[in-house]
A = this chain, B = another copy of it.
Amino acid sequence: MASEGVGRPSSEPGRVESSSVEPGRVEPGSVRPGGRTARVRESVLRAAGDALAEHGFDRLDLADVARRAEVGKTTVYRRWSTPTGLIADLLDDMAEQSSPRTATGSLTEDLRANARLVATTLSDPRQGALFRSVIAAATCDPRTAEALHRFYAIRIKEWSGCVTEAVERGELPAGTDADEVIRAVSAPLYYRLLASGDPLDEAAADRAAGAAEAAARAGAYVN
């Protein structure tokens, strides 16, 4: 997300398909997705992330994004039309950057590693602000909400392996819902970020991981 050059192949063409699919209507960027178009998307999404991290969702100005991306504001409006539309695309892009989980072979260690990763991400000034902003955007628009849900579904699937492995080792009861355990690790941290405002320090992370593990061992996540 930080420092790559120009022209990543960009597996997905950056769709923003119109909601009620108009017949015959073709979205800009879908016919010639290579070269310039990809470059524009690249820099606009990065600029959008920067702007969101700096100003927050309600101050997101597409003209400002265009300026940062060194792109005409007409282009931004044409391809994404609204702030929430742009953020939905940003989320799809973020979903593609999935970093692999750690696999220590110990459930306790893995869950703690996950919790600490989430906590450091959310307490990082830029990343934390960015996550707050995209979540705010998702509350305002169904399409953006879907993109956010996809993002988390991927993140959770990425980590649920450590739980299924623990079940196989007999550390956790059979039938334990692996995804739910991973969500349980994140949930208290997001609650702090968005609702209670309590600090997102290492102690909070370890407590979240410990609580999820204890509940899992007690069979609270068996289907």
CA distance A149 to B153 in the complex (A): 28
- Verify B220–A218 contact, CB threshold 8 A: no
- The interface size bin for chain A is 35 or more
Q: With an 8 A cutoff between CB atoms, is A6 at the interface? A: no
Q: Which residues of B contact A139 (CB under 8 A)?
A: 56-57, 132-133, 135-136, 194
Q: A59-B140, A139-B136 are in contact. Are A220 and B194 (CB under 8 A)?
A: no
- Verify A191–B186 contact, CB threshold 8 A: yes
- Verify B148–A197 contact, CB threshold 8 A: yes
Give the residues from 168 to 203 in chain A that come closer than 8 angstroms, CB to CB, to chain B: 180, 183-184, 186-188, 190-191, 194-198
CA distance A156 to B190 in the complex (A): 16
Q: Which of B83, B145, B207, B221 contacts A211 (CB 8 A)?
A: B221
Q: Which residues of B contact A153 (CB under 8 A)?
A: 196
- Verify A184–B188 contact, CB threshold 8 A: yes
Q: Which of B136, B183, B194, B207 contacts A57 (CB 8 A)?
A: B136
CA distance A180 to B188 in the complex (A): 9
Encoded as 1 (CB less than 8 Å from any B CB) or 0, chain A from 210 to 223 comes to 11111101111100
Chain B min CB distance to A164 (Å): 18
Q: Which residues of B contact A135 (CB under 8 A)?
A: 135-136, 139, 194-195
Chain B min CB distance to A207 (Å): 7
Q: Which of B84, B146, B188, B214 contacts A187 (CB 8 A)?
A: B188
Q: With an 8 A cutoff between CB atoms, is A62 at the interface? A: no
- Verify B136–A140 contact, CB threshold 8 A: yes
Interface residues, chain A, with chain B CB atoms under 8 Å away: 56-59, 83-84, 132-133, 135-141, 145-146, 148-149, 152-153, 156, 180, 183-184, 186-188, 190-191, 194-198, 207, 210-215, 217-221
